[in-house]
Structure 1
Amino acid sequence: MPLAYGLAAVVGLVLCLTWGALQVQVTLAGFLNGESLWSKAQKQTVIDLYTYARSGDPSQLESFRRNYEVVRLDRWARDAIANGHYNQHEVGQAFQRAGVIPAAIPGMIFILDHFSQAPYMAQAIENWRSVDGSIEELNNIAGQLQHAYAQGVPSAEEIARQNARIGVLNDYIQPRSDAFSLDIALGAAWLGRVLFASVLISALLAVTLWFRMAKRILASIRGTEERFQLLFDGAADAIVMVDESHGKILGVNRTASVWTGRDPQELIGRNFQDLFVEGSMRSAGTSTIGLLRAESGLNRSVETHSSLITWGTQPVRQAIMRDISDRLSMEQERRIASEAMASVAEGLIIADAERRVTAVNAAQTRITGYTLQYLQHHPFDELRRLPDGSPLPSSIWDRVADGGNWVGEVQSWRSDGSCYPELLSISAIRNSEGRVQHYVAVITDITRSKADRQRLEYMVAHDPLTGLANRSEFQRHCAHAIEAAGRMSGAAAVLFVDLDAFKAVNDSYSHAIGDRLLVKVAQRIRRELGENDVASRIGGDEFTVLLGGLRTREQAAQFASRLLLSLSEPMLIGDYEIVMSASIGIAGYPLDGNDPVVLIANADAAMYAAKTQERNTYRFYTPLMHADARMRLMLGADLRQALMRDEFHLVFQPSVELRSGRIIAVEALLRWRHPERGELMPDDFIPLAESLGLIRRIDAWTMRAVCAQIRQWDQAKLPPIRVALNASAATFGHPGFIDSVKQALQASQISPKRLLFEITESAILRLGEATEQTMHALHALGIGVAIDDFGTGYSSLAYLKLSGIDFLKIDRSFVKDLPDSANDVAIVEAMLAIAKSLGMCTIAEGIETSAQHDFLLRAGCIEGQGYYYARGLAAIEIERMLSPNPRHESSRLRLVPPK
């Protein structure tokens, strides 16, 4: 209704403004009409007066008088209004006699009275006033002319004079009359615009006010609806409005939409019963319980309360559904908790505030043998003591009462009187005031777990294979021994024991045999220990022994001697009888260190010195040993950088045909230009490279360098000779060895027959089956293989049957005493006979005298190397020797270059 009233008011206002506009337009029309009459009248007065002056026609004078009256009446009305004291009726009569439209007269009076200073109006009135005197002058001239014509006919001069006066006055009146007419027209246009703007603004203002009122009213209505909708949608329960007659859904709130997973518009019109899983509805007193179906497949248990209401004339049932999933879950949890308490493996005891037992589970009865009937009304702690036998202290109950819980090991009794270790956990249940209402005790029989823990503690501190202490346990005992020795001003010693050639046992027999051997060694070490001694295995075949209660470290020498003697006795492992030896290093407190780690490290350094110098012996630690170890570490670090810094180079030692002295091959020998230690021989760094895992990279560099050198000699048009190079066991047995050889040959574009790989017989035996495969692959490529240091390895000759072996190199140890040593003579002749029977070429190493040369030549050796012919030479020297016309210095034997 307020909007309707407001709209009616706006319409009425617009109508009023329209009517007012019409009235103003009528006024403007009348005003313009009056201006037109006035302007026409004043112009006509001039015309009539001109005509009358020439003709003296009385009708023209009468016409002048009529027009002059119009102008006079307008002027009188104007001046009366301007004075402010006028009779509106008289003024209106004056305008009406002047010919103004009667309907416009009131508006003209209003404008002249109130808007005389408006734009254009003030100027128009000023122009209007400015001609008042001129018009009066015309009236005087008319009077004079009337008087003159009354006397007779005026003279021509008089008429001309009057006409001249009339012309002057007309020239003055005409522009002002035109300006007056223009100002009136412009003023009317301006007033029209003002009128339109006023009407428009007033209408817009009225409409704006109406819209604001409408907005406030609609906002109030919408706020009421939103509050209702918020209450409806914000309800925690799902609300569904159902048509009582047809069971169709009329409306739902947001909760119902969320629970069902459907938009409200999708639910409207559906059957209410379709919201539930079929067959899930059941009555529960005044409500019903069912499973509300959801699009996600997660059904929700709800309890529905309904009431009948009326919407207009339509009966509607309001169904309010409450989610009872949590309630049902809690009921289920209570059932599960009750069943869990009965079936849990740990024993549960519930006692009141005085610690009297009120409930137990089956596990408690099974563990202790006591039933609830026996324990009821007895404190549950009366059958439990601390591990030391004392009663449970009151501090336990104070701690639990303060809000904590207590967990600890106790000693408990069973119904048969036996005792067992038990893990007891005690917590409290409080009432709303925070007071302890019940105690809950959880008991666990930890007999087995305690035994397992003790076993684990033993395993953590001992080596699983030998049962000796491990490194951390040994260091702990060592620290105690050092502390005791410090208090007693005594000494303690650490022995580092490393088995000699243990890797050969693993390689020759098996790792299983090696493990059994370590167990035997541990038994023999344990057999020699005294009361204050501890033995440990710290890894692989390395053992440590702690000797405590000594006066000086030198007393450890007796134990070391006994231990070496015990370990040297044959050990029967299955079907094998194995004889071992060991190297022992000794470091003592306080002379060699006051820290377990330092003593072990120093003993290790002493062991390394014993193994390097002699084996099957012991050495006491000296500071020089660590200097040697540090030197090895520094050399290892330098060796890693040697390849990147290009510090390696090759020298070549000729191999000559003994019969002719002709150079038929060279052996590539590796050298290391160390930036500080000068040139190092292979024996100084090859073992270190093998231990650091660098030997394969060094072998690969050697192979590439040899192939590049052969290529360079071929480009220099030198005679083609064979070049031998050494291959380590790690390189020879690697799966990628053959591929790397192929790549080197392809990159250098040399013939495979130019290469000869030398490998020691001990390396062949260590590689096993992989050796035969590699040799066959090299043989297929056309590359020869030589057995280096023949006769110095193991005594097995089975590998000589391999088809890939082309050369046997007799070790220098058999050549150095020829021909004086009968044993060496017999061995060398046997080697030559074997090689000849197998079709192999023989090469003798280390020939330094002519007697050695002559003997080997007579014995049938084919090739020889040694200082007797030449040392290892640079590549440029080999080029000079291989050139067609070499210049040799005087030597004991002239080397002949090949053709």
Structure 2
Amino acid sequence: MPVAPKRPHLSSTNSALGLLRTLFDASHEGLIAIDPDDGRILLANLTACQLLRLDERELLGQRLEPLPCWPAERELDDELAAVHTGERVLEAPGPDPRTPLEVRLQLVENTPSGPVVLVVLSHRERRRIESALRESEARFRGILEKLPAIAVQGYDEQRRVTFWNRANERVYGYTPQEALGRRIEELIIPPEFRERMTGLIDTWLQSDRDPPAGELRLRRRDGSPVEVFSSHVMQRYSSGRREMFCVDIDLTEIRAAEERLRLAGTVFDSTAEGIYITDASGRLLEVNRAFTAITGYEHDTLLGRPISILKSARHPPGFFHSMRRALAETGYWRGEIWIRYRDRSVHPALLRVNRVRDAQGETAHFVGVFSDLSQVRHSQARVDYLTHHDALTELPNRLLFQARLEHAIGRAEQGRAQLAVLFVDIDRFKGINDALGHAGGDALLRAVGRRLKTQLQRDDTIARFSGDELMVLTEHIADEADSARLAEQLLRAIAAPFELCDDELLITVSIGVALYPRDGADSSQLLRNAEVALRQAKHAGGNSYAFFTATLTRIARERAQLEHELRRAIRDGELLLHYQPQVSLIDGALVGLEALVRWQHPQHGLLPPGRFIPIAESSGLTLALGEWALHEACLQTRRWLDAGIAIGRVHVNVAHAQIQRGALYDTTRRILAETGLEAHHLGLEITEGVVMEHDIEVIAELERLRAEGISLSVDDFGTGHSSLARLKELPVDLLKIDRSFVGGIESQGQDRDIIRAIIALGEALGQEVLAEGIETRKQALALRRLGCRLGQGYLFARPLAPEALPDWIGSRARAD
């Protein structure tokens, strides 16, 4: 009788069997192994049973035709024959006709028992899972299969049974009562091996050595064969009697389990999902081929390393603590996770981890199954992008533009701000498109979109609505003039030639402008009114812009035009200074001049500062205008002094922006050096807003100016909200009472009280006080009685051109 030479590692075999059976059942796909010859089911996993709504016991030994996983119109035998040439993909109704099944037949040839056909079942939804979220859920069961029963027998020197435990009944079918006293060859040795086996047993019983252990093929009571692993121990008694004990383990279930183990191992390495097994501490024991293919790690380099090598450091604090808690409480965890591959790249994955317990209920292993979601995420991002962007120009589309516009309106409403919507349309685009062809027209649209985008700020939005209609949203406007400037900027940008089709193309656009909240309280109304404005621009001949209302269009155009002309005026010398005398209210002597800027406009004549100073402030021209005025006033004063005309000090208004810039001291010193004017002939007037800022650097700058001998005064004092504490810290020599208070000084009202308080304040701080806007002698007399010693206004002189000042001084001298 043949005896196997090796002892199998039964405990490790069954442990591995349990693990691989768990993996087999955990697959997201239904798996059925069938005999390729007769088409009968050999093995089915948990997912297959769930899909077919049948228990595995009901499936084993069955053919596929009567099951809901087989299409009635297909012959199983034909498909089994065809599978030798390649994978077969069929569709079956399934238990629920609303969710048909996809049936794939694959030939697996490398099993120990010969080829098998692997039937893979999945819902039609599987394709969506593979291309989108791959959220098929693996199911694992940490169930350990029972160990085979151990049969123990004892035999005397005549090979008669002396001991027979109950396990033998399960293995061989004989009860102890039936077996005791009978010879071994009568019970369990097959007839064809009896002669040989009895000879061996007799030899063993007469020998001093223990018989070898090994696998034997024996016989049950019903005559059926049974494979066992048999170990033998020879017992020798002091009387000389010998007794042989046999310990047999039924290999029937183990052989079946080994075959299933081979099948499950084939599935383990055939699935497209990455699978790993770790010990209780998280060190890798095994991974499948898909794991190495996905992550880039080599199989042998992974074993023994912690699973934490895949950590990406992208998860929030507590993420892995929550995962461990779920595994401890429920035995599994499922969710999305970021995994770091061998090349250090990080990818999203759908992971399910199961805890596997040992026989004592302690954690023995963890089994993880994951799918890479990178392609799914990329596809989702692309779909999302195309949902919100125009495919031709890659600009935002109407949907995204309206969403951003609504958010911008919400922000503007909270901050009481404005925003502008500009509807841009290419003039005569149909003819251009016909001439260039659709490909050329598309290229032009892309080029126009790119060029317009370069003219916008980073957080502005430009979108393509349809055809040649583009829409611009900007929140960077303070008034209608800002939006007019942007519209003109866009017109100028488009006016430059386009290089298309090996030729230069000149085009124009029309722009309709609507402002929030003036022209609409919601996005729909703003878009509608911008389109109305666009029609107005088209009606005017194109290559222009129009606001929603004609009045607003005219005002914005005038303001934008005036800004353009003001830039030219600063550059071309159209600005000039007039000087209003400042006199002593005690004796009428000239003590100084205030320089006031005027604009000699070529068409509109002499313009007062109220017409253009606000435009200069809103368009960033204040610095250039202020520096020009300071230079011109110092130069003119130097001329007067050189001509022997004493004017005291010339006072020049300094804009807030000039002080904030932080270079007023350096600029003033440079201009004094360039013009040759001594510092004690210059005074600078600051606004009351500077008093409120209390900026340490500003105060230091003003102190440096005063240290040079330059006089500093606060203009229009009393109209703001100055802090006395802050005023005290400023190096100011002069407070100028605003003309609004001087006009009411003849009455015994609040104006007189305010003037009296300002004069008292000046005296307390050691500062001179000058009243502006004096037009009558009564006003001058009242101011002098209140203690004000300096004044200016029409009573003494209107602002004078430089050449008129000597005559005014002469006339004052003759009058005295």
Q: TM-score, normalised by structure 1?
A: 0.37
Compare relative contact order (CA 8 Å, sep 6+) and give the higher one, 1 or 2. Answer: 2
Greater radius of gyration (CA): 1
Which structure is higher in strand share? 2
Q: TM-score, normalised by structure 2?
A: 0.41
Which structure is higher in helix share? 1
